[in-house]
Amino acid sequence: MMIKITRATYSGDFQIELCFSDGKTGFFDGKKLIQQKGSLLEPLHDESFFKRFFIDVGALAWPHGLELSPSKLYQSCRHYETA
């Protein structure tokens, strides 16, 4: 089964709560991402731009073309159980 992001909600301080197609939910720490170098990552240092993410065909994406793999996000998220 290919994992997809079904919902993404900004939680503040560069944290995004992600819900996945298998029903699990977790937090993505965007601070780790913006510590890396790269031209596509530079705009994300601005929190107002960082918050402009959206879901594109199950992946986390931003308007300037950056797209993060849902399976890699799934592996790197701190998961928690939902009732």
Percent pLDDT > 70 in the chain is 94
Give per-residue pLDDT as tens, 33-43.
999 999 999 99
The tally of CA atoms less than 13 A away on the side-chain side of residue 61 is 12
Q: Is the model's pLDDT at 79 over the cut of 90?
A: no
Q: Which domains does the chain have, with CATH numbers?
A: 5-80 (3.30.2020.10)
Q: What is the four-CA torsion angle of 42, 34, 59, 7, rounded to 10 degrees?
A: -120
- Which are the contacts of 51, defined by CB distance < 8 A and separation ≥ 6? 10
